[in-house]
Chain A
C-alpha cells in the first residue's frame, strides 16, 4: 500500500547569526546550509496495517508524512501510495488519503463544522446518500451532537479535534496519516480518539500511520513501529521487540509480609528501589522465571508484579542513546 525507497528531503536553509552586523552582511552575502530532514529511508506498509512512526523532535517524521501525502516534493528517492506518486497530486490519489495534523486545521474558523463537511462533500464528490450516512455514523461514534452546528471558533480544543477528524473522514479515505492527532487533548478525550481510530481501521480496513508523542497512543494502536532519527531509519518491527531491544530487562516489584534485607533481594536482579517491605528490581527477561521462583521459595512474598518498563522511558532512553552517539561522532 505504501512504499518508500531511498526517500530524501534536503532543505537549503539561510543561516545568519543574531545582530545588526550579521543582518547587514546578509543583505549582500548570504550563507546557506543543507539540512537533511529525511536522508534515505526505506520501508513498506501493507493494506490495513497500523504503524506508529516515532522519533525525537526534528527526526523527520512529519516531513516524511508530508511527502507521502503529496505536500512536499522529495529531493530524491521514491514514494508510492496505493500505486500513486503523491507529489503528482492526482485527484484519484487525494480521494484515497487524508493527513490529519493536530496543529493544523481544515475547519473554517468562523463557520460551523457542518459547512466544512458540506464543502468536502462537494469537493470529494461524495454522493449525497453516502455523505448523509457517513456523517450520521461519524456523529454517533464521535458523539458530535450539536457541535457541528456551532462556529468552530467557539469549540474547545478537544471538540474541535473530534470535528476535525470527522471532516477528514467524510470521503472515507483508505490511507490515514495522523500527525499528533491527540496533541493537547485531555486523557478521556485521548482514549475516545484512540478507540475511534482503531474502530475506523477495523471497519474500513484503512491503512494508518501515526506519529505521536503520547506513547499510550502508540501502545494502544500500533502493533508495528518505525523509528527514525535525524532522517534515518533506526528501527522497524514489533513494539515489544523494540522494548526488548532497548530495555532487555523487565521490572519485578515484590511486596513482603516481613522485612527483607537489601542483600537478600540483590541476588535476584538489579535493585531500582529497596525498602524493608518492598523492592523493585530490573531482571533480564530470560532470567525472570528463575528469579520469580527463587523469590517465592526464599522470601516472604505477599504480592508480586512483572511489567515492561514504561514506553516513555524506553523511548527516552532510545533517543538519548542516539543523541549521545551523535555527539561522540
Chain B
C-alpha cells in the first residue's frame, strides 16, 4: 500500500522536477557545458593520434576517428548518468532544510532521485544532437549488434544507480562530519581517472586496467561507452553488467545504511 502510494506520486514528482529544471534552464545549460571535458580530451587525443596512431592493449590501434567516437560517446553517457544528490544533501543537512523533506511521507532519497531524473529531458536537448552527429560521422565505429544496443540502456541505468547512490552515501556523511563535499572531490578525482572519462581504459597499463575492473568507476562510464563503440560483444558484456549491478546493489545498501544511521544525528539547524 505504502509502495503503491509512492509509485503513484512519481509522475507528479517528475513533472514538478521538470518544471524546476525548466525554471533553471540557463543554469542547467551552463552545467551541461561545464561537463565538456570529454570534448576537450577528444581534441587532445585526436591531435596525438594524427601524429601517429596510439596503441592500446592487445596492439589495437586508436586513430583519430576512434577517439572522436569514444569521447562523443563519453559525453553522452556522462550526461545521462549524472546525479548531484551529494551536494543537495550536504547543503540541506547543513542548512537544516532537509527538515521539510523529512516531514513528508516519502523517503527523502526517493525525492532526491526523482528531482535528479527530472532533469533528463533538459539534458536530452544537448545529448540528442551530439548523438545524431556521432551516428552521422562515426557510424562505422559504433556497434552494429542490435543485442548490444539492447544491453546499452541497462548499462546506463546501472551507471546512473552507481552514480546516484554514491552521491547519497557521500552526502549522508555530512550527518557525521561538518561537510562531506571534500570527500566528493576525492571520489570525483578517482572517477575521472578510473571511469574512462579522461582516457580509454584500454590505454592503461595492464595492472591499472585490472585494478579498474574491480572499482565501481568504470561501470559508470566505461561499460556503456564500450558497448556503444563496439568494444564489447554480448558474451563479454554480460559478466561486466553483472559486476555493474553488484556495485549498484552495494551502493544502494551502503548509502541507505549510512542514511539510516546518519538521520538519527540530524540536528535540524535553524528555525
Interface residues in chain A, defined as those with a beta carbon under 8 Å from any beta carbon in chain B: 11, 62, 66, 69-73, 87, 89, 91, 94-95, 97-99, 101-106, 108, 110-111, 115, 118-125, 151, 179
Contacts and interface: CB of A to CB of B under 8 A. Distances in A.
Nearest to A110: B23
Contacts of B104: 94, 120, 123-124
B2 A91 contact: yes
Contact of A123 (B2, B106, B268): B106
Contact of B103 (A99, A108, A111): A99
Contact of A89 (B12, B13, B102, B268): B102
Interface size class of B (residues with CB under 8 A): 20 to 34
17 contacts: A11-B267, A62-B271, A72-B267, A73-B264, A87-B264, A99-B99, A99-B103, A101-B271, A106-B103, A111-B19, A115-B16, A115-B19, A118-B16, A122-B12, A123-B13, A123-B105, A125-B5
Nearest to A71: B268
B8 interface: yes
Contacts of B105: 91, 94-95, 123-125
Shortest beta-carbon contacts, A-B, top 10: A122-B12, A91-B105, A94-B105, A122-B9, A101-B271, A110-B23, A106-B100, A71-B268, A125-B5, A73-B264
Given A102-B271, A118-B12, A123-B105, 4 more contacts: A71-B103, A71-B268, A103-B271, A122-B12
A321 B264 CA distance: 36
Contact of B16 (A66, A73, A89, A111): A111
Contacts of A71: 99, 102-103, 266, 268
Nearest to B104: A123
Given A72-B267, A91-B5, A111-B23, A104 B99 contact: yes
A124 B267 CA distance: 25
Contact of B102 (A70, A95, A151): A70
Contact of A104 (B12, B16, B96): B96
Contacts of B13: 119, 122-123
A120 B2 CA distance: 16
A94 B2 CA distance: 13
Nearest to A90: B105
A151 B12 CA distance: 18
A104 B100 contact: yes
B187 interface: no
A108 B99 contact: no
Interface string B104-132: 11100000000000000000000000000
Interface in B1-19: 2, 5, 8-9, 11-13, 16, 19
B270 interface: yes
